[in-house]
């Protein structure tokens, strides 16, 4: 799972990059029960990436 794809998904939500409505400061990902990190997650050929809204944390300043 490529963390850069998650960055892209978040940034696409800003419809006008010259006047963004938010800024992504950091983004981490990890397997369930393991530490979050900024690096890609290697997946086996028979594994599927599935997100869970309960594991998403958004911090607004």
Q: DSSP string spanning 3-53?
A: HHHHHHHHHHT-S-TTS-S-------B--TTS--BSS-----TT------G
Both tokens of 8, joined, read 């892209």
pLDDT at 52: 81
Q: What is the pLDDT of residues 12-46, one digit of tens each?
A: 888 888 888 888 888 888 888 888 888 888 889 99
Domain count, the chain: 1
Both tokens of 7, joined, read 């960055």
Q: How far apart are CA 49 and CA 28, in angstroms?
A: 14
pTM here? 0.61
Query: Which domain, by its residues, includes 55?
Result: 1-61
């Amino acid at each position: 799972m490529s963390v850069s794809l998650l960055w892209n998904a978040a940034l696409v939500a800003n419809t006008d990059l010259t006047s963004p409505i938010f800024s992504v400061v950091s983004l981490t990902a990890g397997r369930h029960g393991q530490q979050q990190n900024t690096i890609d997650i290697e997946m086996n050929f028979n594994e599927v990436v599935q997100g869970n809204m309960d594991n998403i944390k958004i911090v607004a300043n």
